[in-house]
Structure 1
Amino acid sequence: MKSDYELSLRDYIAIIKERALVLGVSAAVILAATVAVALMVPPIYQSTGTILVESQQIPPELVSTNTTTFADERIELIRQRVMTRENLLRIIDKYSLFADKRLSEGDKIDQLRNAIVVEPLTTFVRGRGEATVAFNVSFEHRQPEVAKQVTDELVTLFLNENLKQRTERANETTEFLTQEADKLGAELASLENQLADFKQAHANALPEHQTLRMNMLSRSELEFREVDRDYKAAQEELRYLELELSAANAGLATKTGDAARPASADQPQDLASLKAEYARLLTRYKEAHPDVVAVKRKIQALEASGNPTAVASTVSLDAARVRAKMSAAQERITSLADQKRELTKKMEGYEAEILEAPQVERGLVTLMRDHDNARKKYEEIRAKEMGAKITESLEQENKAERFVLLEPPLMPEKPIKPNRKKIAALGLVLAPAGGGALVVLLELFNQRVRGVGALENLLGKRVLVALPYIDTRADVARRKRWRNGLIVAALVLAAILLVLIHLFYMPLDVLLLKFTSKFA
């Protein structure tokens, strides 16, 4: 046959008539196979439990919680902790799942994980958008009782694991904050000891005593000036006594009176005493001073009269008295000098402490800043520790966000798999498609010439006369046998389908009752 010849509609109809038996048988076989698969596939039951994510009962403004993740993240975390190898093996052994000995332990765990479904249920929450408010825990198995039991076990694991996880987290948070508080407490105590040692080591240069040191320095300076004045007065008195001693050694000693003081006006005086007094006054005042002028007049008056008073005592007695006064004056000068040295040393100490105060203040400020920072951290961590303890009590009393069993798993009444109707409908589609594909395949391998047009196209010449095919008695008998066989096969196939439906899908009487009830 040439490649440019195309089959006509009449040719396609002829092929269908010729291959009707093959097309019918193949379509029936495919349909029967799909129906058999739909009926013979074992049913899978699913049991589902719903767990509600209940929010915290006590307002978060009063008691905060340590939950920092969203519900779907916590659900996924708990799912990973529930579906551990240990838990799954325990469930497999407890309910005798996967009795096939050819399966390894890993294969059983994988099949169990594939049979467990955790599905979050979300809703729109104002201010948060889509939020998870609950989730379903499901398990699939061929036996409805086992499906329910395993789902109960899984729901219990989810609830217990959530409580355990939140309690452990609260305990770990409290323990961590307690350890940190102890560390900060030890650090704060160390800083307090350092601060106390620093203050003790620089007790005389602390900034808070600066005003007191300034006052003490001023007082010491005032006292130093007073001592210095007394010291100078004692030195002048000593110089006067030295003059008086010189006069006594010369035989001009006074009869009575104190060498350290000028004689009063009513006491008897001699010329030597007046001259000694005059010399002493000149060391202190000028010649125009009234006291100097008065003593000078007395001396002039005595000299003019020519009757000086006689010496009442010997020279040695006057000299001894003067030496005794000089010794007392020297001791006083020594004492005053010692006081001046002590006061000078004290003032130098005050000045050194005043100069040292800024450096001490700098070190003290650093220690105080470290101490204040450590104290603030300690108080903050203690407040957090108290909040963590309250949160721990909240978790232990199950007052925080929790998982609540909303709908317990029920015994499944109908299988969820397979969808027998869809499989049968697929068979209705595949049956004619498969039969048609078989006919096309057979025609591809068939080299016969179909009709007058194909023959003219093959020979390149026009056909004058075409004789139709004449059926013989043998052909008629053969077609009759095929027809009868096809009817018998169809009846047998229908009987087999009814038996399969009765055994694997639904009893025929129940199916008939449901069918008639729809039209009643």
Structure 2
Amino acid sequence: MSVTQSQMQPPPPPYPGYEQESAGFGEYLGILRRRRKLLLAVGLPIVAIGATLALALPDVYRSEGQIEIEGAQAVRQNPNALAQDPEESPYADQYVRSLSTVVLSDRNLAKLLAEHKLYDGQADDPAGALEDLRGDIKVDIVTVPILDPNTGRERDVVTAFSVAYDNKQPQRAQEGAEWLVNAFLAENRNDRQRQAGGRAKFFAREAERMRQHVAQLEGKLAEFKQKNAGKLPELNEMNLNVMDRTENDIQNVESQMQALRRERVFLVSQLSQARAASPEAGNLRALEDQYARMSVQYDQSHPDLIMLRRQIDQLKAGGSGAGLSLKGQLQTQRSILAEARQRYSEDHPDVQRIQRNIQSLEARIASGETADVSTAADSPMAMQLQTQLNATDTQLAALQARAMELRTKLSGLEGRIVAAPEVERDYQAVTRDLASARAKYDELLKRQMDAEVSEAAIAGGTADKFQVKSSPKIPEDPAKPARIAIMIIAIVLAAIASLTAVILAQLMDTTVRGARDIQDILGVAPLTAVPVINHSGAKKHKRGAPAYAATAAAAVAILALAVVIRFVA
């Protein structure tokens, strides 16, 4: 039945509610059977090419080593160690990349090619071998997801990195990967050693500068102490104590001066009475009475009692004290001092009093005085009283000088106490700067020693931050190409391309086939269908167009070539 082009346009529905029947699975299969030549013509070459690639590509072996960064194990087990470890850096991946730039430099890769023969023609084409080597090296960062204790969110932490090398021979792959792993370890060690050495030199320079600063501050402090001697804050308590003792000493001296003044008044009264009495017997009795009174108060070895006994013995022997010279008095006082020293120490008040009497007599003799004229005609009693009066005057003069000295000392101490707050403020400023400088100097020395120890430990290989987690091994199976994956991809691509071609061919084909096409075009169902009548011309036509057979033969040839290349060549 012949149908024109206009008749092929689908007419409007013949009646309301008319719906076209959807194509069934059988019709799709029929389309595929009719288009099987197109399917094979498009799909077989793609499958053949994929099989050729899967079979013809050479085996490439990969040897890989993994280097773990120090502290990664602790971070994996305890995420809180991330916040506790001050050396954990979020830029570990950047450091690995910068380290890769150094290790994978042309100089290092040329050194690797010189030490190991990784490519057959590397001596003839070193530049090409260098480029091939660079392309065959893979450095990948290994991260582990953890829950960050600081933010409460999941984040990736760099714990290690892998170094892989691809080569057609497994032994060469292992040699190249092992060399690269050792190069990463050595470069990291050298880098950390350079950093530690730089830190040590920096801290050494800073420590020397701070030492000079400390020396300047110490000199300033010494000068300040010398300028403000006695006014420093640490001496305040001592100054207060000395001030209290000085006030007590002044009071004691005042008390002694009061007592001596009263004694002087008494001696002057007795001296007047002794000079009024002329008989020596009366003097003897007076001396004996005085000796008896003083014996009650003093010991027999007291210097005054010794002098009274000598005068009494001299009067009993018929002698007289008249005309006694200063030298004689000095000799008598020296004798009394010698006897007093046998019984008392040098700090005893009587010993000191006799010494002052001796000093007074020596001063009078040195001034040119030869005899006490006023006592030349006096009785021994009067002479004794005059001697005591002279000693009392000497003691009063000494105590007055001592009181003046103590008051001067007290005035100086009061000045120190008044100036102490201002001096303390300046002193604290100087000491604070000095303490801060010394603390900084000690810290710099400690950090310098730590850096030097770290440098020595890194040089000795006992403080490496990188540890080999897995060493490169000789690979047993090739890493690529992924032959099964290539075949699967080729089959999928072939199926997609073939179906696409069939769909396009079906859309562009205007031939009417079967009762369904007539029903779609005319809107009426045919009464009957005449089956296809096979005749000799049709068979002859089929045998004359074996295009799909040629395609199949070409695909088989390609596959055969791939097999020969893969297993024979």
TM-score (norm 2): 0.56
Could you tell me how far apart the structure 2 residues matched to 1:463 and 1:442 are? 26
Q: Secondary structure at the match of 1:84?
A: helix
Q: Does 1:438 align with 2:501?
A: yes
Structure 1 vs Structure 2 CA RMSD: 5.0
Contact 2:210/2:441 (CA < 8 Å) preserved in 1? yes
Q: Secondary structure at the match of 1:47?
A: strand
Could you tell me how far apart the structure 1 residues matched to 2:455 and 2:29 are? 84
* 1:42-81 pair list within 5 angstroms: 43-51=59-67, 68-70=86-88, 76=93, 79-81=96-98
Match of 2:99 among 77, 82, 103: 82
Q: Does 1:200 align with 2:200?
A: no
Q: Does 1:2 align with 2:2?
A: no
Report the residue type matching 1:117 in the other structure. V
Distance 1:453 1:195, change over 3 A: closer
Distance 1:200 1:77, change over 3 A: same
Q: What is the deviation of 1:25? A: 2.2
User: What's the CA shift string for 1:164-200, capped at 9, x where partnerless?
Assistant: 1332343344334444443443344334333322222
The match for 2:277 is 266
Identity %: 26
Distance 1:113 1:473, change over 3 A: closer
User: What's the CA shift string for 1:13-50, capped at 9, x where partnerless?
Assistant: 44333222222222222222322333455654422234
Could you tell me how far apart the structure 2 residues matched to 1:440 and 1:186 are? 91
Q: Does 1:216 align with 2:242?
A: no
TM-score (norm 1): 0.61
Q: What is the deviation of 1:444? A: 0.5
Could you tell me how far apart the structure 2 residues matched to 1:135 and 1:343 are? 85
* 1:345-384 pair list within 5 angstroms: 345-365=408-428, 367-368=430-431, 370-372=433-435, 374-379=437-442, 381-384=444-447
Contact 1:207/1:358 (CA < 8 Å) preserved in 2? no
Q: Does 1:118 align with 2:135?
A: no
* 1:248-259 pair list within 5 angstroms: none
Unaligned runs of 5+ in 2: 1-8, 12-18, 72-84, 122-126, 147-155, 280-373, 375-389
Could you tell me how far apart the structure 1 residues matched to 2:206 and 2:132 are? 44
User: What's the CA shift string for 1:184-241, capped at 9, x where partnerless?
Assistant: 433443343333222222223342541234423543565477679989999x9xxx9x
Q: What is the deviation of 1:364? A: 4.0
Contact 2:38/2:548 (CA < 8 Å) preserved in 1? no
Q: What is the deviation of 1:93? A: 4.9
* 1:475-486 pair list within 5 angstroms: 475-483=538-546, 486=548
The match for 2:459 is 396
Aligned length: 404
* 1:106-505 pair list within 5 angstroms: 112=134, 115-120=137-142, 135-140=161-166, 147-148=173-174, 150-205=176-231, 206-207=235-236, 209-210=238-239, 211-220=241-250, 222-223=252-253, 261=272, 264-267=275-278, 345-365=408-428, 367-368=430-431, 370-372=433-435, 374-379=437-442, 381-401=444-464, 403=466, 408-410=471-473, 412=475, 414-483=477-546, 486-487=548-549, 489-503=551-565, 505=566
Contact 2:68/2:161 (CA < 8 Å) preserved in 1? yes
Q: Secondary structure at the match of 1:157?
A: helix
Q: Does 1:506 align with 2:553?
A: no
Q: Secondary structure at the match of 2:277?
A: coil
The match for 1:27 is 43
Q: What is the deviation of 1:2? A: 2.3
Distance 1:42 1:497, change over 3 A: same
The match for 1:286 is none
Contact 2:519/2:526 (CA < 8 Å) preserved in 1? yes
User: What's the CA shift string for 1:129-171, capped at 9, x where partnerless?
Assistant: x998865311235676764554344223211122213323433
Distance 1:81 1:150, change over 3 A: farther
Contact 1:38/1:418 (CA < 8 Å) preserved in 2? yes
Distance 1:110 1:229, change over 3 A: farther
Larger deviation, residues 169-178 vs 340-349: 340-349
Could you tell me how far apart the structure 2 residues matched to 1:463 and 1:338 are? 159
Contact 1:116/1:137 (CA < 8 Å) preserved in 2? yes
Larger deviation, residues 490-499 vs 360-369: 360-369
Q: Secondary structure at the match of 1:264?
A: helix
Contact 2:63/2:174 (CA < 8 Å) preserved in 1? yes
Distance 1:109 1:198, change over 3 A: farther
Distance 1:15 1:86, change over 3 A: closer
Contact 1:217/1:350 (CA < 8 Å) preserved in 2? no
Larger deviation, residues 144-153 vs 391-400: 144-153
Could you tell me how far apart the structure 2 residues matched to 1:491 and 1:156 are? 53
Q: What is the deviation of 1:468? A: 3.3
Report the residue type matching 2:249 in the other structure. R
Distance 1:215 1:366, change over 3 A: farther
Larger deviation, residues 334-343 vs 139-148: 334-343
Could you tell me how far apart the structure 2 residues matched to 1:478 and 1:394 are? 89
Could you tell me how far apart the structure 1 residues matched to 2:236 and 2:63 are? 80
Could you tell me how far apart the structure 2 residues matched to 1:38 and 1:457 are? 47
Could you tell me how far apart the structure 2 residues matched to 1:500 and 1:435 are? 23
Could you tell me how far apart the structure 2 residues matched to 1:85 and 1:403 are? 16
The match for 1:515 is none
